[in-house]
Amino acid sequence: MRVVFMGTPDFAVPSLKALVEDGHDVRAVVTQPDRPKGRGKKYTPPPVKEVAQALSLPVIQPVQIKDPDFIGLLRSYAPEVIVVVAYGRILPPAVLSLPEYGCINVHASLLPKYRGAAPIHRAVINGEKETGITTMFMDEGLDTGDMILKEKVPIHEEDTAGDVHDRLAEVGARLLIETLDMIRQGRAPRVPQKGEASYAPMITGTDELIEWDKPARDIFNLIRGMNPWPGARTYLGNKMLKVWRAQILKDDELLARPGRVMGTVRDGILVGTGKGLLVITELQMQGAKRMSAADFLRGTPAPLGMILSNVPGKEIVCDDSGIV
């Protein structure tokens, strides 16, 4: 089929490669503009652009998706279908109605659950045991179009958002090819979304903060749901501390003041929560590199008795009873 592909991050890369490998005529690749990145704020191309250029595919990076010149350029490619995988913007009606067979989206959830921008993060943060991929015909709503194919993918106990992301990206690429084959053969179903919908809004800075008065299980899920980006964070005095990995030691009753550093165990640093105890096993202090808690403790005394907080401030130390 004649295809225009629209996508931006790493998640979209396997789908783009699959289209080319399967012999589809990818007329152009639309991706978001280069953005400043890193400490030097150097303009960096999106992953999809880098792959598209390596495949010698034309790349378009519109600033305004509703720009008539951009829509005219899309029309000149005469796509039979537009494939959208994590592009990052809502398509206007003029784009949705342009291709003969419509716009097809690969979405990283089992719709109608987790519509929106961050379905992988939110599923892990919420402690879901499974998620999946849905392909659908796009309409003007936010991930509300008729579904074509669905496939479930398990979320294991220790999975991070990154682990789930990588599995879903590969499943999404495979389902995309199956979906286009069905469309080309005129046998693609249109299954209306039914059941209770939920939304997965974009991750914000507030979402990153660890609230130590929550149960250990909830904090554990937050930490793995923020790994590898953007990282769950807390504060040790005035210094930010990112927590990359943790383990649940106990998840029953209140055993210590929430956020209090109780001591060390073989794998890391023991911290009290609103319900149970958590062991931080991988961390990153502000201005330092990411490392195991064991490596951190070899060079830094354990901050015993100190309180981790979701706001920067003075160092708070508890006595043995856990009371300031």
Q: Domain check: are 7 and 90 in the same one?
A: yes
- As a whole number, mean pLDDT of residues 70-78 equals 98
Q: Is 86 in the same domain as 30?
A: yes
C-alpha to C-alpha distance for 148 and 176, rounded to whole angstroms: 10
Phi, psi of 6 (to 5 degrees): -125, 120
Q: What is the pTM of this model?
A: 0.95
Residues 302 and 237 in one domain: yes
186: left (phi over 0), alpha (psi -120 to 50) or beta: left
Instruction: Examine the pLDDT at 281 and tell me if it is beyond 60.
Output: yes
User: In this structure, are 113 and 152 located in the same domain?
Assistant: yes
Confidence band of 320 (pLDDT split at 50, 70, 90): low
Distance between CA atoms of residues 198 and 144, nearest Å: 11
Considering the domain architecture, whether residues 146 and 216 belong to the same structural domain is answered as no
CA dihedral 70, 80, 151, 168 (to 10 degrees): -40
Q: What is the mean pLDDT of residues 155-174?
A: 98
Do 122 and 65 reside in the same domain of the chain? Answer: yes
Please indicate, yes or no, if residue 317 is contained in any of the structural domains: no
Task: Kindly report the CATH number assigned to the domain that includes residue 262.
Answer: 3.10.25.10
Check if the beta carbon of residue 110 is closer than 8 Å to that of residue 142: no
Task: Assess whether 174 and 298 both reside in one domain.
Answer: no
CATH number for position 73: 3.40.50.170
Do 154 and 279 reside in the same domain of the chain?
Answer: no
In the predicted model, is pLDDT for residue 321 greater than 70? Answer: no
Task: List pLDDT tens digits, range 90-126.
Answer: 999 999 999 999 999 999 999 999 999 999 999 999 9
Judge if 272 and 177 occupy the same domain.
Answer: no
Residue 319 has what pLDDT?
63
Give the H/E segment covering residue 121. Answer: helix 119-125
Residue 50 inside a domain? The answer is yes
- Contact between 235 and 255 under an 8 Å Cβ cutoff? The reply is no
CB-based burial label for 158 (10 Å; 0-12, 13-18, 19+): exposed
Report the share of the chain in percent with pLDDT over 70.
98
Q: Tens digit of pLDDT for each residue in 174-215? A: 999 999 999 999 999 999 999 999 999 999 999 999 999 999
Domain containing residue 171: 2-184
Number of domains in the chain: 2
CB neighbourhood size of 173 (10 A): 23
| 222-279 pLDDT tens trace | 999 999 999 999 999 999 999 999 999 998 888 899 999 999 998 899 999 999 999 9
**Residue 316 belongs to a domain:** no
Same domain (yes/no): 100, 11: yes
159 and 61 together in one domain = yes
